[in-house]
C-alpha cells in the first residue's frame, strides 16, 4: 500500500490552531490587547463594530516591528518572547506561544501597520486567510495598529455559531475589563460602533476599578494586603453588604494576568461565609504575585487556567488575608455579646417613670389544641410565615387578567380542557371544596378522582406567574403601583447598558422609570406583585440573567423577563401556605396553558393513582 500520511499545509494547520485560540471576537480582542501590552505600550485604543464580527482594531504606541519581523509575526510559532523551553518557567510576557497572529490571519482579513522608534518608515501588511495579499512601506506613527475584519469569513460554520452582536459585545467588554484591570498604569480607550465606551487614563488599581465600575464602587472597597515569601496578595474586596446576585465583579490576577480559579474562589467564599445573604456573591479584585517559576500558564491555549505549585498554601493565605481585611476594617458586624443590651438604657427612656409591666394572658389558649384552620379561605386567618407577604401573591394579577375574581372556578385562559378536567370530573371540586394539604413546606397535595396529585409549590407558582407576566407583556396591560418616594438604585455602566435594552419590556410589566444616568436609575413605580424592598434584588437578578445571555429578539427577551420575574417572585420551598392560598395555587395552576412543566422545564406535579397506592399494600 502506498504511504498515506502527509503533513498538513500551513494554512490548514493554522486554521485548526485558530479553532483553539479564536473562539469568538473577544478572543481576538484578548490576543491583540495582550500583544500591545507586551510591546510596552502606554496607550492602547480598542475599536470594534457589530460585536467585533465585522471589525476589531487595536492601536498601540508600543515598540512596533521592523519590516521583516512584521512579516514573520504571522508565521506559526513565531515569537520574540521565548527562545528555549526553560524560558517557559520565567515568563514576564502575556504571550509566548507565537500562535495568535497566525491563527487570526488564517480566519479573517487582517491589516497591520507598524513602525519601530528607530525606523524612518513603517510597514503595512495585508493578509487574507493566511495569504499575504500586500506588503508595502508606508508612513506610520511609532507603534502598531492591527485591523481584523470579517472574522470567520472562510469558516461559515464558526460564523453562524456566533451569538448576537450584543452578546459578543458583552464578551469583549468582559475581556476589556480584565486586561485593563490587570494593567492600571496603561491608558485605555474603547469605542463601540463609533461611540465612546471607556476612556481610562493610566492610574492606580483602585482608581481603575472605580473608572470601570462607577463612582459608587469606591465606598464599597476594602483593601487586602499580604506579603509572604510564597505570594504577595494585594487588591480589594467589596464589603459584604454589597454582595450581589450576579457574579460579575470577581477578578483574580496572577502576575498581571486574569485567571480563573474555582479553587481560590472557594477560599474567598470561605472568608465571607456567614457575612453575605444566601444567593449573593462577594465582589473581589485581587492580585497574586508569585515567582514565575512556581506557576504554569501553559496548560490552556487561552491561558486563563493556570497551575500554581503550592495551591494549598495559597488557598490558606488568601482566605486568611481576606478574613483579616474584613475584620480589620470593621466590616464584620460586632458580635452580640460585646454589647450587653441589659447594661444600656436607651436614650429615650432616660428620666421616664417606671411603670408596672402589664402582662396580657389569653385565657382561652390551650397548648394541646391544634390551631384552627380557616375554611374556604374566607376568614383570612392566614398561617403566613413568609416575610414576603403571601397574600400579595395574587394581588394585581386578578386586576391584570381581568376576570370575575369572586368565582374561583372561572378559568382565566382558554386552557386545554385536559388539565382542568381532572377537577371537573371530581364531585368535590365541582363544589369548589378542593381539599389540600401542605407537606414539608414544599408540596401541596390534593385529591383527584383517580387518586392524588403532589404539586411542587414553588414550581407551580413559577408557572402561574410566568404565564401571567408573559400575558401582561404581550397585551401591555400591567398594573403598576407608584412609589411614594422614588427609589434610586446604582448600577455599573455595563449594567445600565443592559437596562437600556430591556427597559421597554420592563415597563410593560409595570416598572416605571425616572431618570437614568450613567451610574444609576430612578424607579418610580413597580409591578403590583413586587414589594418595594424586593426591587433591588429583582433588578440585580434581571441584570445577572441578562448579562449571561442577552436575547436578541424581543420575543425571547419577553420570555426571559417573565422567567426571571417568576423565579424571583415565586413562593419558595420552606414557606408555609394557608389553605386558601394552597387552593388558589392549585386552581390557578390547572388554569395555565401548560401546567405540567415549570418555565424552566421542570416537572410541576406528579400523580399517584389509587392503583399505585393499592399496589403498595400488597
488: left (phi over 0), alpha (psi -120 to 50) or beta: beta
Cβ distance to Mg ion smaller for residue 94 or 163 = 94
* Residue 100 binds Mg ion, judged by CB under 5 A: yes
Give the nearest distance from C-beta 95 to ligand ADP in angstroms: 2
Q: Which does 165 bind (CB under 5 to 8 A by kind): Mg ion, ligand ADP, none?
A: none
Q: Give bridge partners of residue 208 from the DSSP assignment.
A: none
Q: Which is nearer to Mg ion, 95 or 129 (CB)?
A: 95
Nearest approach in angstroms of CB 64 to ligand ADP is: 6
| Member of 15, 27, 35, 557 binding Mg ion (CB under 5 A) | 35
Angstrom distances, CA of residue 14 to CA of 17, 106, 148, 327: 5, 6, 16, 52
Q: Is 266 left (phi over 0), alpha (psi -120 to 50) or beta?
A: alpha
Sign for the CA dihedral angle at 133, 137, 141, 143 comes to positive
Question: 348: exposed, middle or buried (C-beta count within 10 Å: 0-12, 13-18, 19+)?
Answer: exposed
| 444 beta partners | 438, 455
- The interface partner of residue 525, options being Mg ion, ligand ADP, none and the CB cut-off 5 to 8 Å by kind, is none
Give 146 or 560: the residue with its C-beta nearer to ligand ADP. Answer: 146
Q: How far is the CB of 256 from ligand ADP (least distance, A)?
A: 15
* Binding partner of 81, given ligand ADP, Mg ion, none, CB within 5-8 angstroms per partner class: ligand ADP
Which CB, 21 or 561, lies closer to ligand ADP? 21
Q: Of the two residues 63 and 211, which places its CB atom closer to Mg ion in the complex?
A: 63
In the complex, what is the shortest distance from the CB of residue 125 to Mg ion, in angstroms, rounded to a whole number?
A: 16
Residue 242 interaction partner, one of Mg ion, ligand ADP, none, beta carbon < 5-8 Å per kind: none
Q: Which is nearer to ligand ADP, 56 or 470 (CB)?
A: 56
Residue 214 interacting entry, from Mg ion, ligand ADP, none, C-beta within 5 to 8 Å by type: none
Among 95, 143, 184, 520, binds Mg ion (CB under 5 A): 95
Smallest separation, CB 158 to Mg ion (Å): 21
Query: Contact residues for ligand ADP (CB under 6 A)?
Result: 31, 35-36, 39, 60, 62-65, 73, 78-81, 95-102, 144
The residue among 39 and 448 lying less far from ligand ADP, judged by its C-beta, is: 39
Smallest gap from residue 76 Cβ to Mg ion (A): 12
Residue 389 DSSP code = -
Radius of gyration over every alpha carbon of the chain, rounded to an integer in angstroms? 31
Report phi then psi at 93, rounded to 5. Answer: -115, 165
First to last CA, the chain: 70
DSSP 586-602: HHHHHTSS--SB-TTS-
143 is written with which cell numbers? 507603534
- How many residues interact with Mg ion (rule CB under 5 A)? 3
Answer whether 578's CB lies under 8 Å from 429's CB: no
Q: Cα–chain-centroid distance for residue 371?
A: 44
Chain residue whose CB lies nearest ligand ADP: 95
Cβ within 8 Å of residue 284, ≥6 positions away = 224, 235, 236, 237, 238, 249, 250, 251, 252, 268, 322
With CB under 5 to 8 Å by kind, the binding choice for 486 among Mg ion, ligand ADP, none is none
Q: How far is the CB of 92 from ligand ADP (least distance, A)?
A: 12
Nearer to ligand ADP, 113 or 538 (CB): 113
Q: Which residue is nearest to Mg ion (CB)?
A: 95
Least distance from Mg ion to the Cβ atom of residue 39, Å: 10
Question: Whose grid coordinates read 444566601?
Answer: 278
Q: Which residues pair with 225 in a beta bridge?
A: 234
Closer to Mg ion by CB, 27 or 438: give it.
Answer: 27
Q: Which residues bind Mg ion (CB under 5 A)?
A: 35, 95, 100
Amino acid at each position: 500500500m502506498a504511504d498515506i500520511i502527509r503533513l498538513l499545509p500551513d494554512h490548514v494547520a493554522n486554521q485548526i490552531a485558530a479553532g483553539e485560540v479564536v473562539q469568538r471576537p473577544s478572543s481576538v480582542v484578548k490576543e491583540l490587547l495582550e500583544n500591545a501590552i507586551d510591546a510596552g505600550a502606554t496607550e492602547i485604543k480598542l475599536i470594534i463594530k457589530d460585536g467585533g464580527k465585522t471589525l476589531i482594531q487595536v492601536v498601540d504606541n508600543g515598540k512596533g516591528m521592523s519590516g521583516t519581523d512584521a512579516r514573520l509575526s504571522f508565521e506559526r510559532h513565531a515569537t520574540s518572547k521565548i527562545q528555549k523551553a526553560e524560558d517557559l518557567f520565567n515568563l514576564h510576557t502575556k504571550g509566548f506561544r507565537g500562535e495568535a497572529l497566525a491563527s487570526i490571519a488564517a480566519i479573517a482579513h487582517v491589516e497591520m501597520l507598524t513602525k519601530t522608534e528607530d525606523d524612518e518608515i513603517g510597514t503595512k501588511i495585508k493578509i487574507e486567510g493566511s495569504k499575504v495579499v500586500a506588503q508595502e512601506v508606508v508612513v506610520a506613527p511609532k507603534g502598531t495598529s492591527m485591523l481584523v475584519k470579517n472574522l470567520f469569513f472562510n469558516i461559515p460554520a464558526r460564523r453562524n455559531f456566533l451569538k448576537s452582536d450584543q452578546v459578543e459585545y458583552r464578551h469583549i467588554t468582559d475581556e476589556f475589563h480584565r486586561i485593563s484591570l490587570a494593567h492600571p498604569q496603561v491608558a485605555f480607550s474603547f469605542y463601540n460602533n463609533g461611540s465612546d465606551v471607556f476612556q481610562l487614563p493610566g492610574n492606580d488599581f483602585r482608581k481603575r476599578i472605580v473608572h470601570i465600575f462607577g463612582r459608587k464602587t469606591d465606598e464599597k472597597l476594602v483593601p487586602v494586603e499580604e506579603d509572604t515569601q510564597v505570594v504577595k496578595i494585594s487588591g480589594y474586596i467589596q464589603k459584604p453588604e454589597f454582595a450581589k446576585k450576579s457574579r460579575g465583579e470577581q477578578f483574580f490576577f496572577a502576575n498581571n494576568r486574569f485567571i480563573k480559579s474555582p479553587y481560590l474562589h472557594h477560599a474567598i467564599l470561605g472568608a465571607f461565609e456567614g457575612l453575605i445573604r444566601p444567593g449573593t456573591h462577594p465582589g473581589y479584585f485581587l492580585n497574586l504575585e508569585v515567582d514565575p517559576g512556581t506557576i504554569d500558564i501553559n496548560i490552556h491555549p487561552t491561558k486563563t487556567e493556570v497551575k500554581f505549585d503550592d495551591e494549598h498554601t495559597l488557598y490558606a493565605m488568601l482566605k486568611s488575608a481576606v478574613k483579616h481585611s474584613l475584620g480589620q476594617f470593621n466590616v464584620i458586624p460586632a458580635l452580640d455579646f460585646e454589647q450587653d443590651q441589659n447594661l444600656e438604657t436607651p436614650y429615650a427612656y432616660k428620666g421616664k417613670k417606671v411603670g408596672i409591666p402589664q402582662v396580657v394572658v389569653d385565657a382561652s389558649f390551650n397548648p394541646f389544641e391544634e390551631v384552627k384552620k380557616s375554611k374556604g379561605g374566607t376568614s383570612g386567618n392566614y398561617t403566613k410565615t413568609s416575610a414576603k407577604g403571601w397574600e400579595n401573591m395574587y394581588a394585581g394579577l386578578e386586576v391584570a387578567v381581568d376576570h370575575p375574581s369572586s368565582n374561583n372556578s372561572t378559568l382565566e385562559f382558554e386552557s386545554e380542557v385536559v388539565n382542568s378536567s381532572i377537577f371537573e370530573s371530581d364531585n368535590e371540586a365541582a363544589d369548589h371544596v378542593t381539599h389540600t394539604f401542605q407537606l414539608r413546606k414544599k408540596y401541596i397535595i390534593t385529591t383527584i378522582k383517580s387518586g392524588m396529585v403532589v404539586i411542587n409549590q414553588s414550581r407551580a407558582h413559577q408557572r402561574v406567574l410566568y404565564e401571567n407576566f408573559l400575558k401582561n407583556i404581550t397585551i401591555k396591560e400591567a398594573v403598576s403601583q407608584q412609589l411614594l418616594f422614588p427609589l434610586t438604585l446604582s448600577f455599573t455602566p455595563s449594567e445600565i447598558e443592559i437596562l437600556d435594552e430591556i427597559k421597554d419590556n420592563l415597563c410593560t410589566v409595570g416598572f416605571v422609570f425616572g431618570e437614568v444616568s450613567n451610574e444609576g436609575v430612578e424607579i418610580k413605580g413597580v409591578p403590583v406583585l413586587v414589594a418595594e424592598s424586593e426591587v433591588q434584588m429583582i433588578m440585580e437578578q434581571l441584570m445577572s440573567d441578562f448579562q449571561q445571555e442577552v436575547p436578541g429578539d424581543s420575543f425571547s427577551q419577553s420570555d426571559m423577563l417573565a422567567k426571571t420575574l417568576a423565579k424571583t417572585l415565586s413562593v419558595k420551598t420552606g414557606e408555609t401556605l394557608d389553605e386558601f392560598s394552597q387552593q388558589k395555587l392549585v386552581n390557578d395552576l390547572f388554569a395555565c396553558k401548560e401546567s405540567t412543566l415549570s418555565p424552566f422545564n421542570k416537572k410541576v406535579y406528579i400523580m399517584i393513582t389509587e392503583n399505585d397506592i393499592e399496589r403498595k399494600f400488597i
